[in-house]
Structure 1
Amino acid sequence: MVDNTAFGTRRREDLFDGLLGLLLAEGFAQFGVAELASRLRCSKSTLYTLAGSKEQLVVKTVTHFFRTATEQVEAAVADADSARDRVVTYLVSVGDALAPASTAFMSDLHAFEPTRELYERNTAAAARRVQEFITAGVASGEFRDVDAAFAADLAASMMSRIQRREVEAATGLDDASAYRQLASILTAGIDAPTTAEATSGVSSAGGG
């Protein structure tokens, strides 16, 4: 016997996945519901079962994108066993999760207030996670006694520039490379000195 409920759920998931792939590749401002339905090879009425308007459909799809990205990033971080690894893994994984987003998608995301607000909320949440990792690292002595909130805000500001493609325009780095550079520079700046480094610093100060 066919489970119509399960079939319906899979169909909705497949539609959202197809819609997400299309929007990530080409953006969404230029599409109407009729063209979206045509590209997805379904009817307009089928799309309207997902949301009552194009705007709501876009918001639901972008929400799905960020939720999936968050799950991927958190799954990767769960395997990290130190504060430094968690910061590096988190930032690199964010870059990997967002890599499929085209310039057109990001431009449309920023131009449409509801999706821009979703993006801003997700960036703020990412900054809080980075701050948690840094705070834990400071407490354990793995990181220097830095202001975790400032370090997280610094990371969030750069994350915003990366996702707006400003870093790529200025440096030529793609998103994944930019996130790796951010992870490297941020952790190098807050890493606690080794015992040998600390002893060398004390000796140098005493000898001066």
Structure 2
Amino acid sequence: MESRSSFATARRTELFDALVDLFLAEGFARLTLDAIAARLKCSKSTLYTLAGSKERLVTSATVHFFKRATEQVESAVADIAAPRDRVVVYLTAVGEALSVASEPFMTDLAAFAPAREVYERNTRIAAGRVQELIADGVATGDFRSVHAAFAADLAATMMVRIQQGGVGAATGLDDANAYRELASILTAGITA
């Protein structure tokens, strides 16, 4: 028999997942708490159990999205052994995890400082992870001796441009393909 607290935790996770999916599809700026509650088939008081205001709800949902995305990405790279493949799979998985974000969501994210800061923090974390993957490849001799922090900063800069739509506007590539190209160019440039 499921305990009351595990049911509450499961319900909370289910609501956050539904909230994230709603925001990813439609953005969040134009949605009121009443509209969100109606769409999620819950009360406003239930939403207040998740966060004390719409702004906190948006921020918490953004954190939840990036946590979910990080789990997807790390799961994709977990069983990959070859350093080059790890970088390619990692960047491709990032693109796939973020490809569900609609243009209205990305526009709202860019305009709302607390959510934008969550995104920027996660981009820095992802860049750090790319740096680790590159450093591992340098240590094993699979990658030539490169400045791993510079290569990761290069990747992070492109990751931001991809998500802000700059790469798509300049090249016509969708996000997933832009990440594949980034992985290909980055790994080709550092392969021993």
Q: Shorter-chain-normalised TM-score: which range?
A: over 0.9
Aligned pair count reads: 192
Query: Hey, what's the Cα distance between the residues in 1 that align with 2:4 and 2:135?
Result: 49
* Residues 96-153 of structure 1, C-alpha deviations (whole Å, 9 max, x = no match): 1111100111111111111111111111111111111111111221111111111111
Cα RMSD (Å) of the superposition?
1.2
Q: Residue 50 of structure 2 aligns with which residue?
A: 50
Q: Residue 138 of structure 1 aligns with which residue?
A: 138
Q: Residue 168 of structure 1 aligns with which residue?
A: 168
Q: Residue 121 of structure 1 aligns with which residue?
A: 121
Change in Cα spacing, 1:83 to 1:4, as seen in structure 2 (3 Å) is same
Q: How does 1:149-160 map to 2 (within 5 A)?
A: 149-160=149-160
Q: Give 4+ residue runs of structure 1 displaced > 6 Å after superposition.
A: none
Q: How does 1:1-208 map to 2 (within 5 A)?
A: 3-192=3-192
Query: Hey, what's the Cα distance between the residues in 2 that align with 1:150 and 1:51?
Result: 38
Query: Hey, what's the Cα distance between the residues in 2 that align with 1:116 and 1:127?
Result: 16
Query: Hey, what's the Cα distance between the residues in 2 that align with 1:19 and 1:111?
Result: 19
| SS, match of residue 155 in structure 1 | helix
Letter in 2 for 1:67: K
Gaps of 5+ in 2: none
Query: Hey, what's the Cα distance between the residues in 1 that align with 2:43 and 2:7?
Result: 17
TM-score normalised by L of structure 1: 0.89
- Give the superposition deviation at 1:2: 6.5
**Identical residues among aligned pairs (%):** 65
Query: Hey, what's the Cα distance between the residues in 2 that align with 1:74 and 1:101?
Result: 19
Letter in 1 for 2:158: M
- Give the superposition deviation at 1:10: 2.1
Gaps of 5+ in 1: 193-208
- Give the superposition deviation at 1:4: 2.9
| SS, match of residue 50 in structure 2 | coil
Letter in 1 for 2:100: P
| SS, match of residue 142 in structure 2 | coil
* Residues 34-72 of structure 1, C-alpha deviations (whole Å, 9 max, x = no match): 111111111111111111100011111100000111111
Change in Cα spacing, 1:2 to 1:132, as seen in structure 2 (3 Å) is closer
Judge which range, 74-83 or 179-188, deviates more.
74-83
TM-score normalised by L of structure 2: 0.96
- Give the superposition deviation at 1:31: 1.1
Query: Hey, what's the Cα distance between the residues in 2 that align with 1:142 and 1:10?
Result: 43
The structure number with the bigger radius of gyration is: 1
Q: Residue 205 of structure 1 aligns with which residue?
A: none
Judge which range, 163-172 or 61-70, deviates more.
163-172
